[in-house]
Amino acid sequence: MKRRELIKLGLIATASSVLPLTSMTNEADTVLVVGAGISGLAAAKTLKEKGYKVIVLESRDRTGGRMWTDKSLGFPFDMGAAWIHGPDGKNPITAIAKKAGCKTFLTDDDKTEVYDENGKEISDNKLDRYENEYEKLTEKIESKFEDLPLEQDISLDKAVKDLFPKYNNDLLMQYMLSAYSEFDAGGALDKLSAKNWQNDSMFPGEDVLVSSGYEGVIKEMEKGLDIRLNQVVSKIEYDETGVTVSTNKGNFDADYAIITLPLGVLKKNVVSFDPPLPNSKVKAIEKVGMGNINKVALVFEKSFWDNKVQYYGYTSPVLGMYNYFLNTRTFSDVNCLVTFGLGQYGLAMESQTNKQIQDDIMKILKKIFGNSIPNPKKMLITRWNSDKFSYGAYSYNAIGSDKNDYKELGKDLLNRVFFAGEHTSPEYRATVHGAYLSGIREAEKIMDLG
């Protein structure tokens, strides 16, 4: 007999944290939600409001997942998600952030200064010309690959080199391809699908930064929920009658489970499924990419830059290496520059020490602002790919993947085990609202079952 069947018959002992067997006979069904990120909280909240008994199992010692507001620098700094993308229209995060009292700031992409590899500012005319060329480049690639079969897909990097060879060694265009394409899509140029890297949808409106920190949204969402922290899930067993989730603290028995494990965790196969995941889902996990975006926040005693400039760009000779700097003085009184490791460099930097990372960034800043600038007094670095509860930042369409793979990632197992998370959203992948809506979607599937 399966372990789950033995549990239900009471033939083996269960840990004290297990749901009482009597709960299985209650009128309201029991649902386990694995993960207290935004998708898990959305699912749990939706079900709880409809009378379901819901327990959220979270592996970390905090809620939020990749939405994590750190305050060790003396101000709220979002280590992961920081923007509301497309805040207008029906974006649900806008209303939640407003209800939570979050402060937002419209970041202005036009207030950007870009410097070449020697620290010389690039003229606005040249930037405008290149940005027009970048738009034409991406439109031509999209047009060329739109009707080609998926089997003929290649990397965005190869598509650029094949169709626009004049830009192969052009650092300004490489800067745009990294700071725009790699940052937006989440993947490295040599991994992104030329055919599908930007085939998602968006809500209207210019992106806004949650300047008070995304923790406000998480705190609003988690109100009234039964959330168990430090519950590291190792196994999920299921059949036509229900689900058992095993953690480091015991076994939890329920009618249904919603799994919001990040794609990176699914790729590592650190959580087993019994029966095993179907081949179609395993292939989708393999095909969809998980990005390696990282942030570095550097706090200085005083600002040595123009406080009115929103972003500083740098045409790094190394693709993805600290080519974009966000100036927090435009929305706060904190003297902080936030830069990013993008694409393959977002992964490479994780093997470096904090000092090596600081030295590399300061070399760039000294080229732009002069050798006399001081070192930061504080610094904070993310290493999402090394985080055993995420193994990456957010998903992207890798070579040979498409929306069907995202749909597959969101398919349930036997109407008992359901899957949510940004990587299960074909339309809104890699966004907070995509993750949130996926949680609502899966909760509604359970509700539809009666």
Instruction: Work out the average pLDDT over 337-354.
Output: 98
Give me the chain's average pLDDT, please.
94
Give the predicted TM-score (pTM) of the model. 0.93
Given this model, what pLDDT does residue 26 score? 40
Given this model, what pLDDT does residue 56 score? 98
- The confidence band for 229, taking pLDDT boundaries of 50, 70 and 90, is very high
Mention every residue, 6+ apart, whose C-beta is less than 8 A from residue 181: 138, 156, 189, 192, 197
Opening angle at CA 13, ends 11 and 17, nearest 5: 135
pLDDT at 96 > cutoff 90: yes
Given this model, what pLDDT does residue 22 score? 33
pLDDT at 12 > cutoff 80: no
Structure tokens at 55: 């327990």
Q: Which alpha helices (DSSP H) does 147-241 contain, by range?
A: 156-163, 171-176, 183-185, 215-222
123-168 per-position pLDDT tens digit: 999 999 999 999 999 999 999 999 999 999 999 999 999 999 999 9
- The confidence band for 18, taking pLDDT boundaries of 50, 70 and 90, is very low
**Cα–Cα distances in angstroms (integers) from residue 380 to residues 79, 150, 227, 298, in the given order:** 9, 40, 28, 7
Given this model, what pLDDT does residue 28 score? 72
Identify the weakest region by mean pLDDT among 15-24, 318-327, 350-359.
15-24
Q: How many whole angstroms separate alpha carbon 21 and alpha carbon 9?
A: 9
Helix (H) or strand (E) holding 339: strand 336-341
